[in-house]
Structure 1
Amino acid sequence: MEFFTKTKAVKLRSHLDKYLVADDDREKVRQSRKGSSRKAKWMVELVEGKSQVVRLKSCHGRYLTASEIPFLLGMTGNRVVQADFEPGLDWKFEWEPIRDGFQVRLKSWCGKYLRGNGGTPPWRNSITQDEPHSSATQNWILWDVEATDLPAEDVDSFSGSVMSSSASDDILGSEPSSPMSVFSMNASPRQNSKLKVRQISSNKFRTGMDFFHNARAVRLRSHHDKYLLADEDEDAVTQDRNGSSKNARWVVEYVPDYDNIIRLKSCYGKYLTASNQPFLLGMTGRKVLQTLPRRLDSSVEWEPVREGSRVKLKTRYGNFLRANGGLPPWRNSVTHDIPHRTSTQDWILWDVDVVEIQVQSPGQRPAAPPVPHSDSLNFESTTPSAVSIKSANFSRQESTDSNVGSPPKMEGRTIYYHVAEDNGEVDDERVQGYSLIFKGNGVEELTRKFEEETGLEGVIVCTRSPLNGKLYPLRLQLPPNNVTMQVVLVLPSSKVARDFEEQGFL
């Protein structure tokens, strides 16, 4: 609750670095990167007689409400909307903040949590109340809380009947927008003035940006006491004990409009890139490369997360930069992944050695190149990580990407998948999608596996006909010999699913 008791208005930022905003239709809520918009500001109302809950009112004068309406039929998440206050139904508008480190979870009346969804449409940028069912979505219910002010012209729309004039005066006299931190809550005004100069990013102490403050160039040393090196082929990234090499030097760039995101540029002028290309077929880890894409998208952006005296570098999609050990071809390789075993938890921790300091005035940051920004994890077709699933030599190319040894033999087949939109279209289906390992041959068993993997219920596993390009549900046994497959998941509430029913496929 301390995140909300010291301020009259807040902005809520999801783990995708997007803000909770109130849509102009005065009903929907969604995520947006425009944190400066008035729609991202929520007035905090403390509930009389209930010290552990708050109400959040949008700029349209309506309350953040946990509804009982499913976001998609057959799915677990329910919609979160804006609604007018209804006496007697107070519980629908109340949220219990539960502290989780430097972030909070907002618990609704039915025990579920406010969740900022990622993934493909229709989930992308949506807001639901739900419980995370897989480790990959645990962070989706965590929110950064930033204190903010309300401009005079917005007070009327926020205030409504339940807000007193004295509260309006408090809002108008509140401190300017600043990150909410436990380090500044109980500080004196003089201490707060010092903290404002020091706060380089929201929740800096959690994100680890202090490791890179004023750094022009750094070296990253892994848990194996080896340095992150840009390979001489100007494509691969490896580990090596020679930290004095120029290849171990990475120039730090700060991303405009983001206080907790950096880019790292190698001595060859290319960016450290989290590709969507598997390191080895059938494995979870994906390649980390040096690339120079036409557009600097989220694949070249890293969020430093402090872990004691070391740092984890998180991709915008939740994976971490990982220095692998073990036998070839894993030895000295670098991937981005989520460690699933205790023995590999330290593989995502890095020591940061500053090798060159950026001399600058307080608050100034090195400028990044003025290039267009894209939120897509996919690459332009000219980058090394763009992989076409239509290539007949795909498997052979992947197996020879490592110079040492051959990929370990895996039981089961690798199945790549995309999630279709309502009309059955797939966003950039030419690019390799997500993958899982499946050991069986039955379609029902595969469907259950996808439901566990994605958290989507009732999905329809489909293939695309090579003759007419249309989607058709899988109904027979899977092909033998554990061959690699490409499938498309269709949501049961989508238009294409209704078409399947009309055509008698379901």
Structure 2
Amino acid sequence: MEFFHKAKAVRLRSHHDKYLLAEDDEESVCQDRNGSSSSTRWTVEFVKDSNVVRLKSCYNKYLTASKVAFLLGMTGKKVLQTLPTRLDSSIEWEPIRDGFHVKLKTRYGQFLRANGGLPPWRNSVTHDIPHRTATQDWVLWEVDIVEIQVGSPLPSPSSVASGSASESPSPEVPSRSTSEHMSPRLSKVESSISFTGSPGSTPLRASGRTIHFSVADDDGNIEEAIDLPSFTFNGNSLFELIQKLEEETGLNDIVVCSRSPFNGKLYPLRLQLPPNNMAMHVVVVLSSSKVAKGFLIPENPE
């Protein structure tokens, strides 16, 4: 609960570096990279004499774990915005700390999950219990405090890090402002602390390269898109990049390729990534596909 300690409003950032967003149909929720939108702001309500919270969207509706299946035959259930006539357990979430992240568990044991992979899974939000190793991190969220309760004591950084209450009195919120807004892009350490540093300051993010990726069909064709999915990747290991892309796409046993600028054909990445941090565009194909078996992949790019 220390992640939400004295929080009045928060933003939740998923493992895919996207924010939990209340869609303007006032019913659906999804993930979006734009953290500055008011639709990514969730008001926190504490349930008396319990360790659960309610999260209310900018449309004055509660984040709700519904009983509706997201896809027929799949275990994940839809997460919606609702305003029930009676405040029941479907709108209650138990924060469970996991390092610098938090899991949000329903009263029935499922977790708020940010999905990746291909449409219709991409950017969707469900509640489920992840069984695959590649999707374990999809239930982890970073909590960004965007507004705090006025006049409430704040926990010290040491008490948050240790998970125990500080013995020394916590500083009071300055009375000059009714709320303090923080940058929506916080580091993992800062997002686990209710309020530190100067308001509006933006901490430095870890260095890394941006990986833009597409998923090809059996023949190596991809859908052209203006806004390709992407993530920040640290390191030069091709093996680690393959693991990361399997997490992002939800696919197993993949080949990571690049497209030749001369003839447009795909060729597999076989060595370490370039030593600099320049952005890359890669194409993911299944190893069982025609293109991966060598029909369209030359041994060396022309």
TM-score under structure 2 normalisation? 0.64
- After superposition, the C-alpha distances for 1:421-453 in whole angstroms (9 at most, x for unaligned) are xxxxxxxxxx652346xxxxxxxxxxxxxxxxx
Bigger Rg, which one: 1
Aligned to 1:56: 55
- After superposition, the C-alpha distances for 1:142-172 in whole angstroms (9 at most, x for unaligned) are 111101149xxxxxxxxxxxxxxxxxxx9x7
Matched, 1:115 2:120: no
1:302 to 212, 228, 232: 232
Q: What is the rounded CA distance, in whole Å, between the counterparts of 1:115 and 1:44 in structure 2?
A: 19
Deviation at 1:173, TM superposition (A): 1.2
Provide the secondary structure at the position in 1 that maps to 2:134. Answer: helix
Deviation at 1:398, TM superposition (A): 6.3
Deviation at 1:133, TM superposition (A): 1.5
Deviation at 1:337, TM superposition (A): 3.5
Q: What is the rounded CA distance, in whole Å, between the counterparts of 2:77 and 2:2 in structure 1?
A: 27
Provide the secondary structure at the position in 1 that maps to 2:52. Answer: strand
Deviation at 1:174, TM superposition (A): 1.6
Deviation at 1:197, TM superposition (A): 5.2
Q: What is the rounded CA distance, in whole Å, between the counterparts of 2:62 and 2:197 in structure 1?
A: 33
Matched, 1:382 2:261: yes
Where do residues 483-502 of structure 1 align in structure 2 (5 Å cutoff)?
Answer: none
Q: What is the rounded CA distance, in whole Å, between the counterparts of 1:45 and 1:386 in structure 2?
A: 54
Task: Report if aligned partners of 1:276, 1:378 keep a CA contact under 8 Å in 2.
Answer: no
More helix by share: 1
Q: What is the rounded CA distance, in whole Å, between the counterparts of 2:192 and 2:118 in structure 1?
A: 37
Aligned-residue identity in percent? 42
Q: What is the rounded CA distance, in whole Å, between the counterparts of 1:112 and 1:385 in structure 2?
A: 44
Q: What is the rounded CA distance, in whole Å, between the counterparts of 2:80 and 2:262 in structure 1?
A: 41
Q: What is the rounded CA distance, in whole Å, between the counterparts of 2:98 and 2:263 in structure 1?
A: 39
Aligned to 2:180: 175
- After superposition, the C-alpha distances for 1:269-304 in whole angstroms (9 at most, x for unaligned) are xxxx68789xxxxxxxxxxxxxxxxx99666x534x
1:263 to 209, 212, 222: 209
Q: What is the rounded CA distance, in whole Å, between the counterparts of 1:22 and 1:380 in structure 2?
A: 36
Q: 1:386 to 1:16 in 2, by over 3 A?
A: farther
Corresponding letter in the other structure for 2:261: T
Q: What is the rounded CA distance, in whole Å, between the counterparts of 1:29 and 1:173 in structure 2?
A: 29
1:434 to 286, 289, 300: 286
Q: 1:21 to 1:3 in 2, by over 3 A?
A: same
Aligned to 2:30: 30
Provide the secondary structure at the position in 1 that maps to 2:4. Answer: helix
Q: What is the rounded CA distance, in whole Å, between the counterparts of 2:54 and 2:126 in structure 1?
A: 17
Determine which structure has greater relative contact order: mean sequence separation of CA pairs < 8 Å that are 6+ residues apart, divided by chain length. Answer: 2
Aligned to 1:281: none
Q: 1:335 to 1:16 in 2, by over 3 A?
A: closer
* Unaligned segments of structure 1, at least 5 residues: 151-169, 202-208, 213-261, 265-272, 278-294, 304-312, 314-319, 324-333, 340-376, 388-396, 403-430, 437-462, 465-482, 487-506
Aligned to 1:322: 237
Q: 1:123 to 1:183 in 2, by over 3 A?
A: closer
* Unaligned segments of structure 2, at least 5 residues: 149-174, 216-225, 245-255, 272-282, 296-302
Task: Report if aligned partners of 2:112, 2:125 keep a CA contact under 8 Å in 1.
Answer: yes
- After superposition, the C-alpha distances for 1:310-354 in whole angstroms (9 at most, x for unaligned) are xxx2xxxxxx7437xxxxxxxxxx762339xxxxxxxxxxxxxxx
- After superposition, the C-alpha distances for 1:38-85 in whole angstroms (9 at most, x for unaligned) are 0000000000121x1000000000000000110011001000000003
Q: What is the rounded CA distance, in whole Å, between the counterparts of 1:117 and 1:143 in structure 2?
A: 12
Q: 1:184 to 1:133 in 2, by over 3 A?
A: closer
2:241 to 325, 328, 336: 336
Deviation at 1:129, TM superposition (A): 0.3
Q: What is the rounded CA distance, in whole Å, between the counterparts of 1:35 and 1:7 in structure 2?
A: 18
Task: Report if aligned partners of 1:28, 1:81 keep a CA contact under 8 Å in 2.
Answer: yes
Task: Report if aligned partners of 1:147, 1:177 keep a CA contact under 8 Å in 2.
Answer: yes
